[in-house]
Amino acid sequence: MGVDVSEVDVNEMLGRASGKLLIGGDWVAPRAGGLFETVDPGTGLPVGMIAAGDETEIDTAVAAARDAFEAGHWRSLPGSERAKGLWRIADLIERHHNELTLLECVDQGQPPAYLGAMVTGSANCFRYYAGLADHIYGVATDVVAGGEPIHAYTRQEPIGVVGMIVPWNAPLLMAAWKVAPMLAAGCAGVLKPAEETSLTALRLGQLVIEAGVPAGVVNIVTGRGHIAGAALAAHPDVDKIAFTGSTDVGKQLVHAAEGNLKRLTLELGGKSPFIVLDDADLDTAIPAAAAAIFSNSGQVCSAGSRLLVDKRVADRVVEGVTAIARRTRPGYYTDPGADIGPLISGKQLDRVIGYVDAARAAGAEVTVGGGRTGDRGFFIEPTVLTAISPDATPAREEIFGPVVSILPFSDVDEVVALANDTDYGLSSSIWTGDAARGHAVARRLRAGRVGINVHSAGDYHLPTGGFKQSGWGREHGPNGLDPYLEEKSVFTKIR
Ligand code: NAD
């Protein structure tokens, strides 16, 4: 779908939702917290004002979600009726594709083709979960207890009030990945978007209302992570938190959940290996390796940030990826020649540059990039690091920028050890001309997702989640509603 990148007036596009919170079906002004600026990362200039929700507003929003849940207007609907609601949301997202893409561009900064595809993906995610809404089954069996025959069955019931906390790297899509299953399961909830990128979440709130979802089922509280996010995570009347974000914050949420032992799903960070074996088709593998780290300016949880290359082909891969980095052009979203956008913020830019400086200090070679670019905004050059130790911090920690560490290896045992030598375990890929070899390595990788001659092809059709410190639990796939349901066993004497 083409996108008309004309003038963006955020206030006009958001109308009543501008600078407001969605609580109990109404757009309300923030009280104590006031407003904060949201910045276009391509210019560094403010484009709108966002409500800074605080503990009080989280409390009110959770109460609204609880009331809506108990009222049962949504959860008591047959699954097929909830499915219709999800389809209506999907249709509305598609109808407003251009506008949502523009809001995303001005807030997140990547080119419209990239972010537009995410808007389409968000609509499709609602449709996928519409399909699951009508497929919520228990099991039935006969048992004998105390010598008496008993019929038993299980019920899958919505878990209750869900807190959904999402990051800035794919704002609408990450919100869709939480709101769609939450609605399909019959829950009610509070969405807390990232403070850097709240605009499309607010627009989504309007579309959810337009689609006829009852008031209070979806509430949206914008605001700072350590205030609004932390209050939601610790709230005693929230039954479950669905979180996507950094591993550090994920660990804080584990503690925050202690009070009422709320359920948690955590989709966290990664330092994913992209493994090129000696028999790989380099004409395919090299551009794929570049795309795996440079798209979205490297702000992708599954980014192939460790490029592990057989020594026999390492020179060609370094040369090829360096050449692509050199011609990958960062630019403003209205620039049709821009391949990638800026980083999300000045803070993130400083962080990424800090890792490149640390790599240099540790003796790494920067074959291309490494610096800030552009006369405004938060742009950075695509960057390739070689001659870096696998133990150096930039080769171990998640950078979340377009910076790849290329590490050579001699044989398959060595690369498996290297690939698994990380606290993370989110994604990975193997590039080889021998399918059996690819499958053999796939079994040995400790990651929630493995690609063979493809990197990060995952979406909501299959389970998503991480081994080790990349997360807790799985979202999506045919069992994608499980984290939003509680299972109850019911026993009855049959005579
Ligand atoms: P972040 O953890 O800083 O923030 C994520 C969300 O948590 C934001 O809404 C933020 O406001 C909120 N938050 C921050 N502090 C909080 C606190 N103390 N209590 C509750 N909420 C709090 O992450 P980010 O920088 O926005 O996003 C980048 C991270 O997200 C990366 O680590 C990336 O790998 C990860 N990510 C993971 C996946 C996945 O599927 N595994 C997908 C996308 C991004």
Q: What is the pLDDT of residues 419-477, one digit of tens each?
A: 999 999 999 999 999 999 999 999 999 999 999 999 987 789 999 999 999 999 999 99
Rounded Cα distance between 22 and 494, Å, is 48
The answer, yes or no, to whether any atom of ligand 1 lies below 6 A from the CB of 195, is yes
Report the percent of the chain where pLDDT is more than 90: 96
Beta bridge mates, 384: 368, 404
Nearest-5° angle of CA 274, CA 279, CA 285? 40
Centroid of ligand 1 to alpha carbon of 158 (angstroms): 25
Contact assessment for residue 288 and residue 247, using Cβ atoms and an 8 Å cutoff? no
- What is the token pair recorded at 301? 């949880």
pLDDT tens for residues 308-364? 999 999 999 999 999 999 999 999 999 999 999 999 999 999 999 999 999 999 999
3-state secondary structure of 143: strand
Rounded Cα distance between 447 and 465, Å, is 9
Beta bridge mates, 140: 153
Rounded Cα distance between 133 and 243, Å, is 21
The answer, yes or no, to whether any atom of ligand 1 lies below 6 A from the CB of 122, is no
Q: Is 267 a catalytic residue?
A: yes
Contact assessment for residue 249 and residue 131, using Cβ atoms and an 8 Å cutoff? no
Q: Where in the chain is the domain with CATH 3.40.605.10?
A: 5-268+472-488
Rounded Cα distance between 331 and 375, Å, is 11
Centroid of ligand 1 to alpha carbon of 417 (angstroms): 28
Host H or E run for residue 95: helix 79-95
The answer, yes or no, to whether any atom of ligand 1 lies below 6 A from the CB of 400, is yes
Centroid of ligand 1 to alpha carbon of 244 (angstroms): 5
- What is the token pair recorded at 386? 């070689």
Mean of per-residue pLDDT scores for the chain: 97
Rounded Cα distance between 218 and 61, Å, is 9
pLDDT number for residue 1: 45
Q: Whose C-alpha lies nearest to ligand 1, atom 32?
A: 246
pLDDT number for residue 316: 98
The answer, yes or no, to whether any atom of ligand 1 lies below 6 A from the CB of 196, is no
Residue in 118, 165, 247, 396 to alter for ligand 1 test, most ligand atoms within 8 A of Cβ: 165
Residue 405's Cβ-side half-sphere holds a number of Cα atoms within 13 Å equal to: 29
The angle, 0 to 180 degrees and rounded to 10, between the axes of the packed helices 97-108 and 199-210 is 160
Centroid of ligand 1 to alpha carbon of 404 (angstroms): 21
Rounded Cα distance between 29 and 255, Å, is 31
From the list 57, 267, 381, 398, the catalytic residue is: 267
Q: Output phi, psi for 99, to 5 deg.
A: -65, -40
Q: Whose C-alpha lies nearest to ligand 1, atom 35?
A: 245
Rounded Cα distance between 372 and 382, Å, is 10
The answer, yes or no, to whether any atom of ligand 1 lies below 6 A from the CB of 41, is no
Q: Where in the chain is the domain with CATH 3.40.309.10?
A: 273-459
Query: Of all atoms in ligand 1, which is nearest to the CA of residue 256?
Result: 19
- Amino acid (one-letter) located at 329: R
pLDDT tens for residues 211-259? 999 999 999 999 999 999 999 999 999 999 999 999 999 999 999 999 9
- For residue 367, pLDDT beyond 70: yes
Centroid of ligand 1 to alpha carbon of 179 (angstroms): 16
Of residues 89, 75, 82, 57, the one with CA closest to residue 220 = 57
Of residues 56, 21, 30, the one with CA closest to residue 218 = 21
User: E strands, 295-343, where?
Assistant: 306-310
- Amino acid (one-letter) located at 233: A
pLDDT number for residue 8: 79
Other C-beta atoms closer than 10 Å to the C-beta of 151 total 14
pLDDT tens for residues 391-429? 999 999 999 999 999 999 999 999 999 999 999 999 999
Beta bridge mates, 266: 243, 472
pLDDT category of residue 32 using cuts at 50, 70 and 90: confident
Distance of CA 477 to the CA centre of its chain: 15
CATH homologous superfamily for the domain 5-268+472-488 = Aldehyde Dehydrogenase; Chain A, domain 1 (3.40.605.10)
Beta strands 383-386 and 365-368: pairing type? antiparallel
The answer, yes or no, to whether any atom of ligand 1 lies below 6 A from the CB of 163, is no
- Tell me if the domain spanning 273-459 has CATH number 3.40.309.10: yes
Centroid of ligand 1 to alpha carbon of 241 (angstroms): 13
* CA distances, 369 to each of 61, 246, 323, 349 (Å): 45, 25, 11, 13
The pTM of the full predicted model, rounded to 2 decimals, is 0.97
Residue 160's Cβ-side half-sphere holds a number of Cα atoms within 13 Å equal to: 14
pLDDT number for residue 458: 73
Report the percent of the chain where pLDDT is more than 70: 99
Mean pLDDT of 477-492: 97
Maximum alpha-carbon separation in the chain: 81
